[in-house]
């Protein structure tokens, strides 16, 4: 299994540009989520999904869109990039089993908005 | 809603010395608790988790953590630190009926020779 994969690894955008961060998992996990990591703030939840066709907002959703058309994929779209969105983005997935809640993380995408 | 506080931003420890990282959580009932480690430039890896039962949990890489309900704490410990333990450590809390996790701000561990 590849686990959770994210592309690209690095990205530089200009203010106002849009782009999609890709996330895929091959573990048949129901739950997927996107976090952003900023120095001194830990990880903050952007959006999450509990299954195909179901998404919801997390703590910091403004400026981001998501969709979940398949169990495997959970792309994150930046609609109009702003310097405040410079961050490291992590995708995570979790199996829908009562006894298990740990999240498996991808390697991250480092985004710089100039 | 749940929340996590990691009081120590940065800890420096000598190789071979013991390590303890503090984590305090806020949640009304018994939470799900996790410790993750992030090496430079890497994603997060689960060290250990607590759901219920024995309050002392063992994890990977020789780490353990103790859940203390009376103190709302879930501190991480390692008896003897190796240079490869230099990383950032995150405590996280979740509710049993929810998948969302709340993370602390993290503690950076530096290991000196």
Task: Let me know: does A73 contact A24? Beta carbons within 8 Å.
Answer: yes
Q: What is the pLDDT of residue B53?
A: 87
The whole-angstrom distance between B67's CA and the closest CA on chain A is 17
Model confidence at A98, in pLDDT bands (50, 70, 90)? low
Mean per-residue pLDDT, A51-68: 95
User: Residue B111 carries which DSSP code?
Assistant: E
Chain B hits for A31, Cβ within 8 Å: 99
Distance CA B40, CA A108 (A): 12
pLDDT digits (tens, 9 = 90+) for A30-41: 999 999 999 888
Q: Are A76 and A68 in contact (CB under 8 A)?
A: no
pLDDT at A53 over 90: yes
A1 pLDDT above the threshold of 60: yes
A-chain residues within 8 Å CB-CB of B47? Answer: none
CB-based contact A19:A25 (threshold 8 Å): no
Residue segments in chain B with a per-residue pLDDT below the cut of 70? none
């Amino acid at each position: 299994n590849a686990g959770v994969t994210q592309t690209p690894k690095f990205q530089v955008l200009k203010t106002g540009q849009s782009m999609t961060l890709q996330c895929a998992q091959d573990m048949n996990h129901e739950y997927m989520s996107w976090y952003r990591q900023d120095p001194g703030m830990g990880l903050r939840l952007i959006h999450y999904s509990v299954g195909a066709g179901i998404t919801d907002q997390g703590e910091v959703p403004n400026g981001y869109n998501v969709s979940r058309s398949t169990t495997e994929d959970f792309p994150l779209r930046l609609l109009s990039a702003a310097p405040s969105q410079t961050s490291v983005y992590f995708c995570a997935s979790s199996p829908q089993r009562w006894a298990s809640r740990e999240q498996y993380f991808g390697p991250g995408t480092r985004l710089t908005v100039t | 809603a749940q929340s996590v506080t990691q009081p120590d931003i940065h800890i420096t420890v000598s190789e071979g010395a013991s390590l303890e990282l503090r984590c305090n959580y806020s949640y009304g009932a018994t939470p799900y608790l996790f410790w993750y480690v992030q090496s430079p430039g890497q994603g997060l890896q689960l060290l250990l988790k607590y759901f219920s039962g024995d309050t002392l949990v063992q994890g990977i890489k020789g780490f353990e953590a103790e859940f203390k309900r009376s103190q709302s704490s879930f501190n991480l410990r390692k008896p003897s630190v190796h240079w490869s333990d230099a990383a950032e450590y995150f405590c996280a809390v979740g509710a049993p009926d929810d998948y969302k996790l709340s993370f602390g701000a993290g503690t950076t561990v530096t290991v000196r020779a």
